[in-house]
């Protein structure tokens, strides 16, 4: 599991999470109300891990700003 969290209101909140629970690789994208969208990745677990690392490294600032905007 690879996850980006942002501290908001004194608490850490999930912004985006890549994992392979439920038996498949997917990404969960969250909003401030903790609602989320699940996107199946159709990748091997290894490729999904590489994607997750690269995506969060490259895009964490954008994810953070969009999350905090609501």
Extents of the domains making up the chain: 2-69
Q: Which two tokens stand for residue 40?
A: 């199946």
Q: What is the pLDDT of residues 13-59, one digit of tens each?
A: 999 999 998 899 999 999 999 999 999 999 999 999 999 999 999 99
Rounded Cα gap, residues 43 and 48, in angstroms: 6
Q: Parallel, antiparallel, or unpaired: how do β-strands 26-30 and 36-40 relate? A: antiparallel
Q: Quick one: average pLDDT of 5-15?
A: 96
DSSP-based helix, strand, coil % in the chain, nearest 5: 40, 35, 25
């Amino acid at each position: 599991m690879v996850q980006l969290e942002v501290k908001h209101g004194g608490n850490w909140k999930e912004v985006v999470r890549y994992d392979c629970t439920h038996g498949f690789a997917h990404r969960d994208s969250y909003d401030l109300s903790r609602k989320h969208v699940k996107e199946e990745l159709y990748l091997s677990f290894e490729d999904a891990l590489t994607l997750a690392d690269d995506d969060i490294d490259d895009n964490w600032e954008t994810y953070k700003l969009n999350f905090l905007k609501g």
